[in-house]
Structures are given as structure tokens and as C-alpha cells.
Chain A
Amino acid sequence: GQQLNRSPQSMFIQEGEDVSMNCTSSSIFNTWLWYKQDPGEGPVLLIALYKAGELTSNGRLTAQFGITRKDSFLNISASIPSDVGIYFCAGRIDTNAGKSTFGDGTTLTVKP
């Protein structure tokens, strides 16, 4: 099956700094998704990307769908303490929303 590799595994940053994380896949996806998981809760969708090269923003978050369709990145600008959590990428081949492949997640710590 598909494998998603995320980078980095964890990040410790100062409040106000920008953050960048990415995922690469062994095969192509038709949809890339970025989720955030707070401690003790389920993941929540942040951004969805539908076509190669697409760049989408959601507030301080910006994500891009790689041209090769095998990678995606997520940027967070001007980080704040509530950005703390685990960020997951997920890829989908078909329109079946129930069959997403998840990466292992990047743990973000923001120091005030």
C-alpha cells in the first residue's frame, strides 16, 4: 500500500516563528489533506487540496499540493501557543473519503 513519510517528526519553536512541514508519498494521490489533532481528541481537517500545484490558505495556514502529486507541505505563519498539537497529512486516491492514508504526524510545541 501507499506509504507517507512526514518531516520533521517534531518541532520546538518560539511563539511568532513560522513553521514548515511536509509529506512525501511512494505513489501519487489525487487529494491531499492536512489535519490537526489536539491532545485527547480526534483529528480535525485544516486544509484540503485537489489538484497538482494548488496552493490553498486558511488563515495563517498555507498548504500546497506538489506538482508530482507525491508530496505536500504545510506552512504555519506567526505561530501562537494554541497551534500546539500533532499535524497529520493524509492522501486519497479516489473519491471515497473513508479511505485516506495518514502519515505519522508532526508534533508541534510552541514556547510562549
Chain B
Amino acid sequence: NAGVTQTPKFQVLKTGQSMTLQCAQDMNHEYMSWYRQDPGMGLRLIHYSVGAGITDQGEVPNGYNVSRSTTEDFPLRLLSAAPSQTSVYFCASSPWQGVKQYFGPGTRLTVT
């Protein structure tokens, strides 16, 4: 199993550009989540999904969209990038009512 994969690893955007961060897992996990991590801080939940076709907002959803058309994939869309969205983005998955979240390696995004 590859586990949780994220692409790209690094990205630089200009203010106002849009892009999609990709996340995929091959463990057939129901739960998937997106977090952002700012320097010196913990992870803050952006959006999460409890299964294909079902998504919900976390703590900091503004400026981001998600969809879950398949169990495997959970892309995160930045609609109009802003410098405040400069961060490291982590995707995670876990099985139904499982405790352990499996994190991807992260995408480092800089918005200039």
C-alpha cells in the first residue's frame, strides 16, 4: 500500500490564482480530512469527509472547497489564493470509527 499520497509537494501561486491539491489513499478508508499547519502551530481542520459524496466544514473552511466523488480521492480546491493561505497542507485518512489517522507527507504552498 502507498498509504496517503499528496501532490504536488511544493507549489508557488500568485494572489488570485486557483489550484487543486490532490490527495489519494489506497486503504479503503471512509474518513478523509484536510488540515493546514502554519509555522509553530498545530494542525487546523479545513474540511473533512465521512464517505463518498459526504463532506463537511472544519474550523477554517473559508477560501477552500472539497468534493468526494470516490472513496480514494479527496481534492482540496483553493478558489482565489491569498497570502494568508501560505501554509503546509496535510491530508489524512482513517477507517470507520478508527482512532488512527494516517497523514500524507504534506504540500508546501506559498502565495505571493
Residues A97 and B97 in contact, CB atoms below 8 Å apart: yes
- Judged by a CB distance under 8 angstroms, whether B50 is at the interface is yes
- Judged by a CB distance under 8 angstroms, whether B49 is at the interface is yes
Query: What residues on A are CB-neighbors of B90 within 8 Å?
Result: 42-43
Interface residue count on the B side (C-beta < 8 Å): 29
Residues A42 and B92 in contact, CB atoms below 8 Å apart: yes
Q: Is the interface of A mostly helix, strand, loop or mixed?
A: loop
Given contacts A42-B90, A48-B99, contact A102 B42 (CB under 8 A): yes
- Judged by a CB distance under 8 angstroms, whether B77 is at the interface is no
Query: What residues on B are CB-neighbors of A88 within 8 Å?
Result: 42-43
| CA–CA, A64 and B49, complex, Å | 30
Q: List B2-61 residues whose CB lies under 8 Å from chain A.
A: 4, 31-33, 35, 40-45, 48-50, 58-59
Residues A41 and B106 in contact, CB atoms below 8 Å apart: yes
B98-111 vs A: 1/0 string, CB under 8 Å?
A: 11110111100000
Residues B99 and A105 in contact, CB atoms below 8 Å apart: no
Residues B42 and A97 in contact, CB atoms below 8 Å apart: no
Residues A43 and B43 in contact, CB atoms below 8 Å apart: yes
Identify which of B32, B43, B95, B97 gathers the most chain A CB atoms within 10 Å of its CB: B43
- Say which size band chain A's interface belongs to: 20 to 34
Given contacts A42-B90, A42-B92, A43-B43, contact A96 B99 (CB under 8 A): no
Given contacts A43-B103, A48-B100, contact A99 B41 (CB under 8 A): no
Given contacts A96-B31, A96-B50, contact A45 B99 (CB under 8 A): yes
Closest B residue to A49 by CB, please name it: B99
Residues B100 and A98 in contact, CB atoms below 8 Å apart: no
Top 3 A-B residue pairs of the complex, sorted by shortest distance between their CB atoms: A42-B103, A102-B42, A98-B48
